[in-house]
Structure 1
């Protein structure tokens, strides 16, 4: 397995992780008076032997299950159309329940970490497998960067997501094919995976107080694909190309996530989904 292992985090970033301290203030009334009190009750029900990262991963898997469920019953996003085949009511009940449980697990994992004395930067980086809000991460990144560097450095993280949106727009609207009509879910998955990878790399930079790269090299095959599609070089093989690109990007993102988690586990001598420490040897 070491043949497939790659160290994505630099030594400078590892040194930055050593100095990282979690600091966040949530003043949202909904969070203060409803969500956090509810999570405080829920976390006390959980056994202390459950690792916080296991809660985070479980929440992510619930979201994946939710996506699969909705993709099966509403593949083309036509649920609100009067001509759409009726979707059973239980589907929406299950979808809402899965979302609620996933959000709850995401809310209690940090509390479980503090409760078990297992807080570490690893917990913060494990969210790379989850759908993240780029705005929140970018704001946290800028709060440090703009104090230490220039305005241009603070704007660098915006280049890659903007380029991603432009490329996806060109493919979905300007291309000669009808990819959004034929494979809307797959296209949605591709964009979401790209967005997740971009956000995750920004999380690493934000937590390690290091500069973010202006360009994500994972966009190179997307650039080549969009150029080929828009210039008519693909023809009837556009769907097959989408499948190939989505498979590649998904595997690349999984590889990134697994390798980063493993690298941080080795660095901090902890186990990702267990409260047991690694041997000191």
Structure 2
């Protein structure tokens, strides 16, 4: 029987959570002048008896439902690919439903903190729960958007280019938490609100006019998917990376951060680098071209292990403890990769990939569940209901 009372947090980390104070700064123009006023209005309709974490989880559930819907209807990302007419295109209602679900997920994620302050239930668990589920969503939402364009080279991106774009998206999400690990202050990236609204609008347009709307090339041969690709890479290079680097530099110059040594400061970059290196070696050297045979499984494995790494980093930066340099999920990942590279049996590699995806998903769910239960016991609170302290 699975033990969901396993304690992943040690006494040092729990003591760190006891001292934790929320320290976050949002400077995004869209967030400040549009989204926060809207969320302040929406949260007024939410009853005070509704727990903030219930809103957070409900928003995440809409993301999961959208992901599962596209997984069932377009597992291999061929539905919007003109080069594979044998796969029927997705109905427009699926894209419109995705726009509604992502909007609901975005809204619920925006009002959970306001509901916590409204009900007087703000605490470390809420922030950890929120950012932890967001780290999983960061790997799920791109998979739904990929179904709009398909995996063909005529109008979209091949599975290898999308793989590297996925790595970039995940790294963009990871970077602010790496920054907070060193500075003690989380600057919410401007790109988050724009990317969420971009996703919602693209889904809505597709739901109205169909996926064919995005299938065109400019006079110089640049296709629509390439524009999206360049936008994602450009936002990282022009906004995310320089701002984070400057904020870390400023914290050292003004002595406002943790003032860690260089080796300690870059510790969070080690596990995520190991993950990207192992997975990249696998997809590039796979003798049976596993990424082409089942790209969705590879993307899910990458996103799930990434979320586990990110959750552990969030625990470290919130509890002011030392970041893990190695994630034990690398062990089964390495075993599958090595077996695939040397055995060279297509059917076996595919089966091992399915087993690995199921295993890392179950392990990550176990980690998150045990983590939440342990913090609930420590703070004497409930996760999905507001406990009556009287």
What TM-score does the superposition give when structure 1 sets the normalisation length?
A: 0.94
- The aligned residue for residue 55 of structure 1 is 55
| Superposition map of 1:74-93 within 5 A | 74-84=74-84, 85-93=88-96
Report the number of matched residues: 279
Deviations 1:66-98 (A, max 9, x none): 101111222222354223432111111111111
Q: Please give the alpha-carbon distance, in whole angstroms, between the structure 1 residues aligned to 2:388 and 2:9.
A: 21
SS in 2 for 1:76: coil
- Aligned 8 A contact 2:4 2:369 in 1: no
Which residue, out of 84, 98, 115, partners 1:95?
A: 98
CA separation of 1:40 and 1:258: change in aligned 2, threshold 3 A: same
SS in 1 for 2:50: coil
- Quote the offset at 1:25 in angstroms: 1.5
- Quote the offset at 1:179 in angstroms: 1.6
- Quote the offset at 1:229 in angstroms: 1.1
Q: Does 1:137 align with 2:140?
A: no
Q: Which runs of 4+ in 1 moved over 6 A?
A: none
Q: Please give the alpha-carbon distance, in whole angstroms, between the structure 1 residues aligned to 2:39 and 2:8.
A: 34
Q: Please give the alpha-carbon distance, in whole angstroms, between the structure 1 residues aligned to 2:344 and 2:288.
A: 11
| Superposition map of 1:36-55 within 5 A | 36-55=36-55
SS in 1 for 2:26: coil
- The aligned residue for residue 117 of structure 1 is 120
Which residue, out of 269, 277, 288, partners 1:177?
A: 288
- Aligned 8 A contact 1:271 1:278 in 2: no
Q: Please give the alpha-carbon distance, in whole angstroms, between the structure 2 residues aligned to 1:101 and 1:161.
A: 30
SS in 2 for 1:45: coil
- The aligned residue for residue 105 of structure 1 is 108
Deviations 1:213-246 (A, max 9, x none): 1111111111121111112365531111011111
- Quote the offset at 1:3 in angstroms: 4.0
Q: Please give the alpha-carbon distance, in whole angstroms, between the structure 2 residues aligned to 1:77 and 1:28.
A: 33
- Aligned 8 A contact 1:70 1:95 in 2: no
- The aligned residue for residue 160 of structure 1 is 271
Q: Please give the alpha-carbon distance, in whole angstroms, between the structure 2 residues aligned to 1:176 and 1:2.
A: 36
CA separation of 1:134 and 1:277: change in aligned 2, threshold 3 A: farther
- The aligned residue for residue 29 of structure 2 is 29
- Aligned 8 A contact 1:228 1:234 in 2: no
Tell me, which stretches of 5 or more residues in structure 2 are unaligned? 139-172, 185-247, 249-256
CA separation of 1:192 and 1:3: change in aligned 2, threshold 3 A: closer
- Aligned 8 A contact 1:14 1:208 in 2: yes
- Aligned 8 A contact 2:5 2:374 in 1: no
Q: Please give the alpha-carbon distance, in whole angstroms, between the structure 1 residues aligned to 2:180 and 2:373.
A: 24
- The aligned residue for residue 68 of structure 2 is 68
- Quote the offset at 1:28 in angstroms: 0.6
> Which moved further from structure 2: 220-229 or 80-89?
80-89
- The aligned residue for residue 170 of structure 2 is none
What TM-score does the superposition give when structure 2 sets the normalisation length?
A: 0.68
SS in 2 for 1:109: helix
Q: Please give the alpha-carbon distance, in whole angstroms, between the structure 2 residues aligned to 1:278 and 1:177.
A: 59
Q: Please give the alpha-carbon distance, in whole angstroms, between the structure 2 residues aligned to 1:267 and 1:219.
A: 30
SS in 1 for 2:68: helix
